[in-house]
Amino acid sequence: MTGIGDEPFVTAVKPLVDAMGGEMLPPDQAGADDVVLSWEGTDVVAVRLPQLADSLDHILAALERKQGKPLADLDRKAKQEVVRILEARGAFSVRHGVETVAGALGVSRFTVYNYLNRENAAKGQ
């Protein structure tokens, strides 16, 4: 974050940027796809958002940290909850999302689809 400073605004948004897997940089280094955040009329920080596939990896890593162990070591109910969370975050709209999640959970693609179908059936009731 060199060149950004310790602005209170930057400190406030840093946890959100970190959770998304983004990168913070000085506004004058922003590229066309970066988001420049302003505070009180002044550009304070630019945020470089990750590619969708990188975001999924970041979300999986965060879920693993939250669980305190590898996702593959979770029981079936906990894995179903992880799939529910990932679906709510749009993980399965990413190319190869199901395969990536299946690998992280240590289950087959078929099992992930079963978890998704179970969740969608429960919503429909």
Provide the 8-state DSSP code for 40: T
Cα(79)–Cα(67) distance, integer angstroms: 11
Cβ neighbours of 47 (radius 10 Å): 19
pTM for the whole structure: 0.62
Provide mean pLDDT across the span 25-38. 92
Contact predicate 16/24, CB 8 Å: no
Cα(118)–Cα(114) distance, integer angstroms: 6
Residue 5 has pLDDT above 70, yes or no: no
Residue 1 has pLDDT above 60, yes or no: no
Mind listing the pLDDT tens digit for each residue in 47-83? 998 776 677 888 898 899 999 999 999 999 999 999 9
Residue 38 has pLDDT above 50, yes or no: yes
Residue 2 has pLDDT above 50, yes or no: no
Provide the 8-state DSSP code for 107: S
